[in-house]
Amino acid sequence: MGRYPRDTTGYSAVMFHKVLVANRGEIAVRVVRALREMGIASVAAYSDADRGSLAVRLADEAAYLGPSPSSESYLRIDRVIDAAKRHGAEAIHPGYGFLSENAEFAEACATAGIIFIGPPAEAIRKLGSKTAARQLAIAAGAPVVPGTERALTGWEQARAAANSLGYPVLLKASAGGGGKGMRRVDRESELQSALRDAASEAGRAFGNSEVYVEKLVIEPRHIEIQILGDHHGNLIHLGERECSIQRRHQKVIEECPSPLMSSHPDLREHMGQAALKVARAAGYTNAGTVEFLVDRDANFYFLEVNTRLQVEHPVTELATGLDLVEWQLKIAAGERLTLRQEDVTWRGSAIECRIYAEDPDHDFMPAPGTIVHLSEPSGPGVRLDSGIFQGWNVPLEYDPLLAKLAVWGSTRETAIHRLDRALAEYVLTGVRNNIAFFREVLADAEFREGRLSTSFLERFFKTRKKTEADPESEAAAALVLTLESNGSGSPPLTKVSTNVSRWLDSGREELLR
């Protein structure tokens, strides 16, 4: 208890004693782990569907929020604050998604005397709307993609704006993230229905149906810069993550460094400085990410700022050796960012893939269900941020992210081989998932050469040849099923572990004797 060295920095900051984690899944586990390492008590907030979650099991305390739909639990500001008060938490870590980029929530925390672990509400507000962020970036001198500077007010305005930009254009939710409420429009005849769908999806996902339009950059790379700022005016960047492998604007593979940096050695510093300009103009503190599109000629354009910890933060941690969640907590507690820009170095190559409960063979349809068998990879250079276990029921109410598998290697090539090895070790059955699909992507020649763009997967699917199991594997499977159906197999393969202790079992056997 309280092992965290509170006084070593020499500043008057006092580290928290207890923190509420207002999130679920793997990110809740990630934050609970950081808290444990720092000697801070953790409170996992949970909904009905998450009562048995891994985060609840690993946390010191757990606080019930409400029914499973996030609108009645993880998105309820009043219930989250009440949970923190009930448990005596001094601060709330919002994770990503849910309330993490909600300025109203950050303000409600302040009103309740609780520290919100993230940027100030004012910075969230300035950057949270993509249109406002664009204006701020323009004023700060960062390059942007041409488009409307305000949310669209109606169909006529949308048509005029799209025509003047020239098709293809991209509709985007002002409040958005993760590809929700986003539509590519190639011609005017598609605009009206795309506008309706984007607004409806945005409204449902973010409670704000505002949409704006941008010129579409053809085959861009998506490269983002991690930033970190304290409450004492220190602000640094931790370099880039390349997240070009996306499907429907949802990132699936991320890496640091970007393969582009080897041919453009100054790009990291230029993008880093542009990111810091935007962050400074917004009065940013804590961890954040400035996203850019990079065109074929390595020109970069400001896209948006994610005012929270990113899903893909582990690749930055692996390449820099820094702990972003630890820094988030220290900064929120008022500590000084003792790390200077010149202290940040990048070593080797880190790649992460997002393990989703979705079916790659059926247009990535989400696939909730119960995990029948789970055997997770480990070994040198492997990091697994997982929110699941064997027997866990993946709820249909939330995002289908199950885990993030990240690896580190001395070179990008080594990292790719290591990731492939780890994926081959990974057994996850009962819930459709994309583990086998990632191995196909890693084998792709363009991926291996680092020729990435956000249209990579679209191209990949056009030429995809599904790798089939060999006949020997079929024979092995047939053998197992046959002996099992005959009742003569070894221990049954279908049995879901019930988490009953072996000691308990043997104790019962003793009693029966």
Which amino acid would we find at residue 257? Answer: P
Number of residues counted as binding other proteins (CB under 8 A) = 56
Nearer to other proteins, 204 or 264 (CB): 204
Structural contact between residues 325 and 30, judged by C-beta atoms closer than 8 angstroms: yes
What whole-number distance in Å separates Cα of residue 392 and Cα of residue 496?
10
Instruction: Give how far Cα 310 sits from Cα of 96, 216, 265, Å.
Output: 6, 24, 25
Q: Are 316 and 238 in contact (CB under 8 A)?
A: yes
Q: Give 125 or 183: the residue with its C-beta nearer to other proteins.
A: 183
In the complex, least distance from residue 499 CB atom to other proteins, rounded to whole angstroms: 18
Instruction: For residue 488, give both structure tokens.
Output: 């003569």
Helix, strand, coil fractions of the chain, as percent rounded to 5: 40, 25, 40
Task: Out of 110, 139, 160, 365, name the contact with other proteins by CB under 8 A.
Answer: 365
* Cα–Cα dist 126/123, whole Å: 5
CB 377 within 8 A of CB 426: yes
- From 215-223, 330-338, 344-352, 479-487, span contacting other proteins (CB under 8 A): 479-487
Q: Using CB under 8 A as the criterion, what x/- string covers residues 397-436 for binding other proteins? A: xxxx----------------------xxxxx-xxx---xx
Rg (CA), the chain: 24
Picking from 100, 116, 101, 97, the residue whose alpha carbon sits closest to that of residue 25 is 97
Question: Which residue lies nearer to other proteins by CB, 200 or 499?
Answer: 200
Q: Could you confirm whether 196 is annotated as catalytic?
A: no
The binder of other proteins chosen from 334, 348, 391, 489 (CB under 8 A): 489
User: Minimum CB separation from other proteins for residue 374, in Å?
Assistant: 9
Task: Give residue for tokens 């929120």.
Answer: 332
**8 A C-beta contact, residue 212 and residue 150:** yes
Identify the three-state secondary structure at position 171: strand
Residues 437-476 that bind other proteins (CB under 8 A): 439, 467-469, 471-476
Binding mask 240-279 for other proteins (x = CB under 8 A): ----------------------------------------
Indicate whether 71 belongs to the interface with other proteins (CB under 8 A): no
Question: Could you tell me which stretch among 106-114, 223-231, 487-495, 503-511 binds other proteins (CB under 8 A)?
Answer: 487-495
* Alpha-carbon gap, residue 284 to 330, rounded angstroms: 15
498 scored as a contact of other proteins (CB under 8 A): no
**Rule CB under 8 A: is residue 375 a binding residue for other proteins?**
yes
In angstroms, give the least distance from the CB of 180 to other proteins.
7
8 A C-beta contact, residue 93 and residue 21: yes
Of these, 39, 168, 334, 369, which contacts other proteins (CB under 8 A)? Answer: 369
Distance CA 291, CA 295 (A): 13
**Shortest reach from residue 278's CB to other proteins, in Å:** 28
Q: Tokens for 91, please give them.
A: 């601060």
CB of 204 to other proteins, least distance (A): 7
Q: Who contacts 283 (Cβ-Cβ below 8 Å, separation ≥6)?
A: 120, 122, 123, 126
Q: Select 110 or 365, whichever has its Cβ closest to other proteins.
A: 365
Q: Is 369 left (phi over 0), alpha (psi -120 to 50) or beta?
A: left
Minimum Å distance from CB 384 to other proteins?
16
Q: Which residues of 169-199 are buried (b: 16+ CB within 10 A; e: fewer)?
A: bbbbbbbbbbbbbbbebeeeeebeebbeebb
Binding residue (CB under 8 A) for other proteins from 463, 491, 503, 512? 491
> Which residue is catalytic, options 30, 183, 308, 383?
308
Of the CA atoms within 13 Å of residue 186, those in its CB half-sphere come to 1
Task: Sketch the per residue contact string, 205 through 234, with other proteins: x for CB under 8 A, - otherwise.
Answer: x-----------------------------
Cβ closer to other proteins: 183 or 221? 183
Cβ-based nearer residue to other proteins, 180 or 313 = 180
CA angle centred on 82, ends 80 and 85, rounded to 5°: 115
Task: Specify the stretch interacting with other proteins by CB under 8 A; choose among 161-169, 225-233, 295-303, 485-493.
Answer: 485-493
**Which pair of tokens denotes residue 277?**
């300009």
479 binds other proteins (CB under 8 A): yes
Binding other proteins by CB under 8 A: which of 263, 463, 485, 501? 485
Q: What are phi and psi of 345, to 5 degrees?
A: -130, 160
Which residue number, 266 or 472, has a Cβ lying nearer to other proteins?
472
- Which amino acids are annotated catalytic? 308
Interface with other proteins (CB under 8 A): 180, 197, 200-201, 204-205, 357, 362, 365-370, 372-373, 375, 396-400, 423-427, 429-431, 435-436, 439, 467-469, 471-483, 485-486, 489-491, 493-494
